[in-house]
Structure 1
């Protein structure tokens, strides 16, 4: 528009006299108007928003790729509608020829809901157990599942052999304690009978009967550990259950000048479990704690705490702790072995039954060392 005005002014100047004042004023105004329009256009161009720069390409992470490739866990990515994708060398080795007997069956095991479980892998060397952990995540709006597989057959075999060796040692000790006097008295009984020593024979027979009864009771205890009853699961509010346990065990603790405390946080915590079996577990732990806390010279008043809370991952956590001497260092793994005991007159059955029942209820039980001393058993469901 400014250029048109300038041209018009120039044309007018060609027709009219060039020294006309009116024409000169018009030309000056046209020039000023053109400059104003040009400046406005330049200003608008300068203030227009610039388009955003393109996203830079992703920075390669060779260190992360190398760590993933050489991770000791076999990792797969699972996306709906696609076969599992091996993410590292450990995963590729598992499905390579000479390792998995049925790669298709192995890959089918990976298609599981998020969680952690023990699975059995069909390999060319036989069945092997492994821990399978599956987690769900969303990447760029797409639903993924990440599966991690860790073979543990060798570790389980080692632990099983150790457990069997410990159990055989305990069984041998317990059985020989009864069988040695039984065999000795049985061998001397005919001589007592021939000598007519009726009183000695009667005493020997009474001892035989007593040791046989002890051996029978031992077998019954073994049966209770090896054949726990099947649980009957139902939704169970934990606060009433723990309060019932408190009422059952409190008299014995109060008789020893002790106290029992119960905490459930939040108060409406519930668990799908067998209430009777879980109650038995807590009673066994409370009895063990009382026996450990009492009978020591100058021991403080015994205290027992039973607490139910939610831990990370919405897992329910039950802790039973006391202020006693705690478990002797180095024995943490042996205290759950059937018939293993460090207490005079102890049966060694209580904690073994606890572990069997908790496992049957779908949980785990561990001993945790407390900074302030005492024993602490953690049940996780």
Structure 2
């Protein structure tokens, strides 16, 4: 009888303990669900029942630490977003703005805004532009607010949270940078123009003074004087024509035709250039190679303008490999690739003499040339044409090894 009583009491205690631990587990799940930081569970002094209490409290401590770390990380991120000088906002596929920071509201001169479509009132066309932008794109939009002109450069990235697609827009006013770049460009251009004009005017002024001296002297005009005068006038005429030619070339830089955009297969474009230049390059013992990573790739461009750019780059490459007298195997490669931003690139690569690092930006300045017979407008025109295509042209050269001109579309 006593044994039955003892067993009954132990069974009752066990049932109570199990029910209590079930309640503890339920409370723990509720605390986690509600982010309650005060969770604590009593610990039995009897082994092994004390282990569950220890375990539940350890789990509670881990949950608290994770929550605190998450909150600290959120506050840290929020502080950066709010205090960075770059405008930031995000919106979902329905155009609902999730986050917008102080810099964005300041640059756009707006209060809180809930939908990206409402930006139409601030900058007409901006919502549509943002929805169509790709991650690799950059759009510069001129925006005037409170009498101040801003050049806002917009970039976009996106990510997914489950099935929800979020687009993040970053932008900043780059007007000061543009002004500095424009001033620097003008200074370089004026330096080249001054050099070219002085080279033409100085001999004209000198010859004019000499001829004037012939006729101001009291001596009789001899045949020799007449001959020298005619020669001097011919030289003046020659320099005058050279100056007119220079002005006409300068004018051509400002009168580029409006591009007629169409879809063009890169393979067809490149192979058309190959057919056009192959025989001419072969006569100079230059091997022309073609490397295409995708035969089906299409770019939107003005075909004739891009052909003009590629032909100019091939001519420059041919000059470069021909001037390298120590070179045995002369070669030029036209290569088609795609960059990390999924933008198509056409490269013209040669193994010629190369371009010194300090001249790799100078060569794009109008009338700057390293050739004796060069006009100095080819690469400048190429850069303008690529800008009309919202693309870029750049050069990377290792003298004596390889020079790569890249057209990024």
TM-score normalised by length of structure 2: 0.72
Aligned pairs, how many? 328
Aligned to 1:213: 241
After superposition, residues 22-171 of structure 1 pair within 5 angstroms as 59-60=70-71, 61=73, 62-79=75-92, 84=97, 87-95=100-108, 105-106=121-122, 110-111=126-127, 112-113=130-131, 114-115=133-134, 116-124=138-146, 126-139=148-161, 141-171=163-193
Give ranges in structure 2 of 5+ residues lacking alignment: 1-17, 36-66, 111-118
Q: Which runs of 4+ in 1 moved over 6 A?
A: 80-83
| Alpha-carbon separation, structure 2, partners of 1:109 and 1:272 | 22
SS of 1:330's partner is helix
After superposition, residues 316-355 of structure 1 pair within 5 angstroms as 316-355=344-383
Q: 1:93 to 1:348 in 2, by over 3 A?
A: same
| Alpha-carbon separation, structure 1, partners of 2:160 and 2:146 | 36
TM-superposition CA deviations, 1:128-169 (whole Å, max 9, x none): 102112344444544543221111111111111000000000
TM-superposition CA deviations, 1:266-322 (whole Å, max 9, x none): 112222222111111001001111212222332333211111123334321111111
TM-score normalised by length of structure 1: 0.77
| Alpha-carbon separation, structure 1, partners of 2:387 and 2:262 | 16
Q: 1:80 to 1:257 in 2, by over 3 A?
A: closer
Among 340, 357, 380, the residue aligned to 2:385? 357
| Alpha-carbon separation, structure 2, partners of 1:371 and 1:214 | 32
SS of 2:290's partner is strand
Q: Does the alignment pair 1:268 with 2:296?
A: yes
> Does the 8 Å contact 1:339/1:348 carry over to 2?
yes
Aligned to 2:40: none
Instruction: Quote the offset at 1:343 in angstroms.
Output: 2.5
Q: 1:108 to 1:275 in 2, by over 3 A?
A: closer
SS of 1:335's partner is helix
Q: Does the alignment pair 1:253 with 2:281?
A: yes
Among 188, 205, 213, the residue aligned to 2:210? 188
RMSD of the alignment, in Å? 3.0
After superposition, residues 15-26 of structure 1 pair within 5 angstroms as none
Give the structure with the larger helix fraction. 2
SS of 2:274's partner is helix
TM-superposition CA deviations, 1:245-278 (whole Å, max 9, x none): 1222233432332211112221122222221111
| Structure of larger gyration radius | 1
Q: 1:202 to 1:378 in 2, by over 3 A?
A: same
| Alpha-carbon separation, structure 2, partners of 1:371 and 1:73 | 39
